[in-house]
Each structure stands twice: as C-alpha cells, then as structure tokens.
Amino acid sequence: MMPARSRRKNSLPQCCRRYNMAKLFEISNDFAELFDRFEDFNEMEDPAEKEAILQAWYNTLEGIEGEFEIKAESIGQYIKQLRVEIAAMKEEEQRLAQRRRTKEHNAEGLSIYLKTCMEQVHRDKIDTPRCRISLRNNAETVQIDNESLFVRMLQQHGRDDLLRYKEPEIRKTEVKKLLQSGEVFHGARLIRTRSLVIK
C-alpha cells in the first residue's frame, strides 16, 4: 500500500489553486491542506475526471494517519467553517437580490414614464449621439377580462383543449398524520432518517 504522504501527492492535481480562507476553527495542517483543495473539484467540468479526483481525495483523507476521533473532529471543524461561509454568502446574496429588485423597479418605472411621454408628444423615435430610443409594436397577446368566468365558459362548452390542468399534489403532512394514527395506505409508510449534528 502506498504511504499516505505519497498517495496525497500523486492523487491530488497540482493545478489546484489554494484558497486563502480565514480559519475560524482550528484544523491540523494535514487536514487544512487537503480541505483547501476540496472546493476546487466542484469547478471541474469533466464529470468523469471530477469523480476520479474526488475519489482520490477521499482515499487520501482515509490515508491520513490519526485516530478516528481526531479525523472526525477535523472534518467537523471544516464543516462548521463551511457553514459560516455559507451563511455569509446567503446574506450577501439577499442584499444583492434586494438591490437588483430595486434597480429593476426603477428601470421599469422610468421606462413606463418615458414611453408615456413619447406617446403624448407623438414621437416614435429619439436619436441622440449617446442614445437611441424608439417605440415598436410588440407581438399580439391575449387579454382576458375575467379569467374565472372565461374558464367556466370554456368548461361549459367542452373546450378543455384550451385549458391546462395541473397534476394533483400529495398533501404529505396530512398523510403523515393519518399514518401516525394507524391508518394504512398501500405504497406509503413512515420512515425516520438520521442527520449529522455538529456543534
């Protein structure tokens, strides 16, 4: 069997870039070096190559010497670090999404205003050195005055070909309550999975 250090050197791609992440949780150098490469694999485009490298990564992880509890602790610390980063990313995504929605609203409002002004002065085109603005006729769309009445009218006249029906959805919460009360359904059962808790 190849020694752990040699296997790690040969199994991991040398082109992997290093992540300069602040270490919020103490992780030993061997594990820190290995974990720094973990996220690089997700950026690989070739599924087969990605799978092979990930398998080599896990093999390397298993090959690092040390007690199981020490290894588990290092992995747990790394997961906690990832969760901190995920929370920060989500917060930033929400902030950027709010800014995007605000700018979209502003752009839409100004577009409506400018379109209305051009129609009022009967201008279909404005051409300046820095901007070209024009009004154009869009493709025809259907406008339904009262959708509920229109749907009933189509149903009464047998025009289901003009309606789109959604697939029924199972109310799993209600099914769960009935299963817990002792009712039996063919093809449905209560199961209990397990999750990993890291504190």
pLDDT (tens digit per residue) in 47-84: 777 777 777 767 776 766 566 677 788 788 888 988 99
Indicate the SS3 state at residue 20.
Answer: coil
* Residue 102 counted as domain residue: yes
Note whether residue 78 is domain-resident: yes
For residue 172, tell me if it sits in a domain.
no
Question: DSSP E strands: which ranges in 93-160?
Answer: 125-127, 132-134
Q: Which of 45, 46, 18 is nearest to 32 (CA)?
A: 18
Query: Does residue 48 fall inside a structural domain?
Result: yes
Question: What value does the mean pLDDT take over residues 98-113?
Answer: 96
30 pLDDT above the threshold of 90: no
> Residue 16 — left, alpha, or beta (φ > 0 → left; ψ -120 to 50 → alpha)?
beta
Q: Is the pLDDT at 14 greater than 60, yes or no?
A: no
24 domain residue, yes or no: yes
Owning domain of residue 49: 1-136
Ramachandran quadrant class, 158 (left: phi over 0; alpha: psi -120 to 50; beta: rest): left
Q: So what's the pLDDT on residue 1?
A: 39
Q: Enter the tokens of residue 188.
A: 């449905």
Would 83 be classed as within a structural domain? yes
Is 126 domain-assigned? yes
pLDDT in the model for residue 4: 41
Q: What is the pTM of this model?
A: 0.59
Q: What domain count does the chain have?
A: 1
Q: Mean pLDDT across the stretch 31-36?
A: 66
